[in-house]
């Protein structure tokens, strides 16, 4: 079947998220042009065309804009100023404001509290070392306002011994200092919109090892009341942003069933990978539909699922899974070099017994990282 309303979608970023966006777009009959500095990036294998350039190369972004009907981005570290230069030439449905909000933790927290009206952990802006406390009286986390991910750009303040590292970091860049939230579990809501209407996926329950996502369980093992409240928070945020595409809202859930929004990811998210097999539409399908302004279906859960990340140190063990666990879904992102803690793929297991599946994952001995 030839699609008569075929669009050309430009993706800034050719990592695994760009790859999976491109696959969904291709299945729907659209063309994909990807911009990435690595000609052998993950998305190169599934793109109609590659523009090999740095993410802040304005000439390359202009070339991408002229070649496409819409632009999207797969991660936050896109040059927002460059996008402003091309916004008259091509549609950017996700919006540049969303990018700017999520690139800066100060902007993000201010937006969440003042505009979306959702609860975040108590925090303060740190413009330099002189804004830090003289003594550590409670556990707090100092984070750079920009650039941090997977635990980078953070200093946890347990005692006065940690202040020196905190002063060094805050002397180099602006930061935010957050009170530590004693949470029972981490959850996330993956939500998609077309600018007007919004749909949510089942709530995800996440476990991190060394500040990197290890496993996601869908649906989360939370009460219906918590799930409803989490969806309402995500919808409030999406409505304020006039969301187009997919957004992930990460939250902390306390033992008292209080929810604190931790951060936003303005694109499909690692915790949403389980939707590829567990739901009738994946987070990537609805991202593509959303940025094109199409009507969105309410995604249905076909089966509970568990997703576990494959990092560089897990490659050898995961390569044996097709023989030992042929019913597990292994995804390989096609990256050329496996490095310690680098995300190389993921495995999704559809299950009717989450606890048994978690025990099976442990029993493989593949994921034995200290945590």
As a whole number of angstroms, the distance between CA 87 and CA 96 comes to 9
Closest CA to 76 of 145, 156, 176: 145
- CA gap 356, 217 in Å, rounded: 12
pLDDT at 1 over 60: no
Strand blocks (E) in 70-203:
70-73, 123-126, 140-144, 154-157, 175-179, 185-194, 198-200
Partnered with residue 157 across adjacent β-strands are: 140
The C-alpha atoms of residue 249 and residue 111 are separated, in whole angstroms, by 13
What pLDDT digit, counting tens, does each position of 326-356 carry?
Answer: 999 999 999 999 999 999 999 999 999 999 9
This model's pTM is above 0.85: yes
pLDDT tens per residue across span 168-213:
999 999 999 999 999 999 999 999 999 999 999 999 999 999 889 9
Residues 314 and 348: their CA atoms lie apart, in Å, by 15
d(CA 336, CA 8): 27
Closest CA to 218 of 276, 137, 145, 133: 276
Identify the residue with better confidence: 258 or 210.
258
d(CA 185, CA 255): 8
Q: What per-residue confidence (pLDDT) applies to 76? A: 87
| Euclidean distance between CA atoms 276 and 299, whole angstroms | 11
Domains of the chain plus CATH, in order, are 8-92 (3.40.50.20), 122-179 (3.30.1490.20), 185-363 (3.30.470.20)
Mind listing the pLDDT tens digit for each residue in 272-308?
999 999 999 999 999 999 999 999 999 999 999 999 9
Q: Scan for tokens 């897990």, then name that residue.
A: 314
Task: For residue 219, say if its preceding peptide bond is cis, omega within 30 degrees of 0.
Answer: yes
Q: Do 153 and 211 meet the contact criterion of CB atoms below 8 Å apart?
A: no
HSE-CB of 249 using CA atoms within 13 angstroms: 30
Q: Could you tell me the sign of the dihedral formed by the alpha carbons of 365, 301, 251, 310, in that order?
A: positive
Identify the band that residue 371 occupies on the pLDDT scale cut at 50, 70 and 90: low
State mean pLDDT over 107-114: 96
The tens digit of pLDDT for each residue in 22-46 reads: 999 999 999 999 999 999 999 999 9
CA distances from 149 to 28, 48, 143, 253 (A): 32, 30, 10, 21
């Amino acid at each position: 079947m030839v699609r008569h309303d075929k669009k050309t979608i430009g993706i800034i970023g050719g990592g695994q998220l760009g790859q999976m966006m491109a696959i969904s777009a291709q299945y729907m009959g659209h063309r994909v042009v990807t911009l990435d500095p690595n000609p052998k990036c993950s998305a190169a294998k599934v793109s109609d065309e590659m523009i090999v350039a740095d993410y802040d190369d304005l000439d390359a972004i202009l070339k991408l804009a002229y070649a496409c009907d819409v632009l999207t981005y797969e991660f936050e570290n896109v040059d927002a100023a460059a996008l402003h230069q091309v916004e008259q030439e091509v549609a950017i449905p996700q919006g540049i404001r969303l990018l700017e909000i999520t690139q800066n933790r100060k902007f993000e927290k201010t937006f969440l509290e003042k505009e979306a009206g959702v609860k975040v952990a108590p925090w303060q802006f740190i413009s330099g070392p002189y804004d830090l406390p003289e003594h550590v009286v409670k556990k707090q986390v100092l984070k750079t306002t920009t650039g941090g991910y997977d635990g980078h750009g953070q200093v946890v303040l347990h005692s006065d011994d940690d202040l020196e590292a905190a002063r060094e970091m805050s002397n180099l860049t602006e930061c935010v200092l957050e009170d530590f939230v004693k949470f029972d579990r981490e959850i996330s809501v993956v939500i998609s919109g077309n600018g007007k209407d919004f749909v949510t996926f089942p709530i995800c329950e996440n476990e991190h090892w060394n500040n990197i996502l290890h496993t996601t369980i869908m649906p989360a093992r939370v009460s219906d009341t918590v799930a409803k409240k989490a969806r309402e928070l995500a919808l409030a945020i999406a409505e304020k942003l006039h969301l187009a595409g997919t957004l992930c809202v990460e939250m902390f859930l306390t033992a008292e069933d209080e929810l604190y929004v931790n951060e936003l990811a303005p694109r499909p998210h690692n915790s949403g990978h389980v939707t590829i097999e567990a739901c009738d539409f994946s987070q990537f399908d609805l991202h593509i539909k959303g940025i094109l302004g199409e009507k969105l279906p309410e995604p249905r859960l076909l089966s509970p699922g568990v997703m576990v990340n494959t990092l560089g140190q897990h490659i050898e063990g995961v390569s044996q899974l097709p023989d030992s666990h042929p019913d597990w879904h292994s995804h390989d992102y096609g990256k050329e070099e496996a490095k310690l803690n680098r995300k190389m793929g993921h495995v999704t297991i559809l299950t009717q017994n989450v606890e048994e599946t978690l025990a099976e994952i442990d029993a493989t001995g593949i994921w034995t990282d200290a945590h």
